[in-house]
Amino acid sequence: MKKVLYSIVDNVAVITMNDEQSRNALSTQMTEELIAALTKANEDTHIGAIVLTGAGSSFCAGGNLAEFKQFLEMDVPELYEDGLSSTRLFQMRNQLIKPVIGAINGPALGGGTGLAALCHIAIGSEKSKLGLTELKLGLVPYVILPLVRRAVGERRMMELMLSARVLDANEAKEVGLLHEVVPHGQLLESALLQAKAIASYSPLGVKMALRAFEETAEMGVEEAMRVLSTMRLISFKSEDLREGAKAFLEKRSPQWSGK
């Protein structure tokens, strides 16, 4: 991978978008490498959580304007095929069994805001800025709309999309795009601390928590209760729950098997 750095800190995968010249824009190559890196971490049994961040002063500038000229010259089938990688990237939210902690280190605009919304927990530096700026270019945030709408709600999504305004870190936290704002120099440390804490829990428990959330997201209360009651049986029959209860009674750290 040339546009993405992949490293491991204890049992946390750190994925860094690394194209400072474009401010980590979501070029076709960047998108494909992000998919590959997230897939690698998601499938690695030794990884308990993922931290996603950007190199340099930006988190992600959104779409790569340098590629837009090529898009304008493509016919519809070519344009559709080229856009599939972007769609696949944001669809990964429903496939992840490892939580993604976003370390939003600077501007995260357009698709960058979509990436922040893809993260299960988003921690922003005081230097971070977020916003759906697509309308300023005559575009619409098509692919990222569902994730951002889930993060901020219906009416706020409409306002952010139509105003195309850029929010500072505290405003982004207020509307729900960020969970926490920390001093810039403490950002990666804070994200790793959160990721390591989650990675210390039962791998099966974390996986089931993500599945329970995603699978019932569009359900009514009654239907969700029925599905969750069934899913609960997996936890109650798991080795991890047995080990967790035993470790609690014996006042020791649990040794998770992920089963």
CB 128 within 8 A of CB 106: yes
CA distance 77 to 167: 36
Is 134 a residue of the active site? yes
CB 99 within 8 A of CB 49: yes
CA distance 99 to 198: 8
CB 45 within 8 A of CB 8: no
Collapsed DSSP state (helix, strand, coil) of residue 163: helix
CB 124 within 8 A of CB 183: no
CA 52, 154, 140, 128 torsion-angle sign: negative
CA distance 94 to 23: 27
Catalytic residue among 134, 174, 215, 222: 134
Catalytic residues: 134
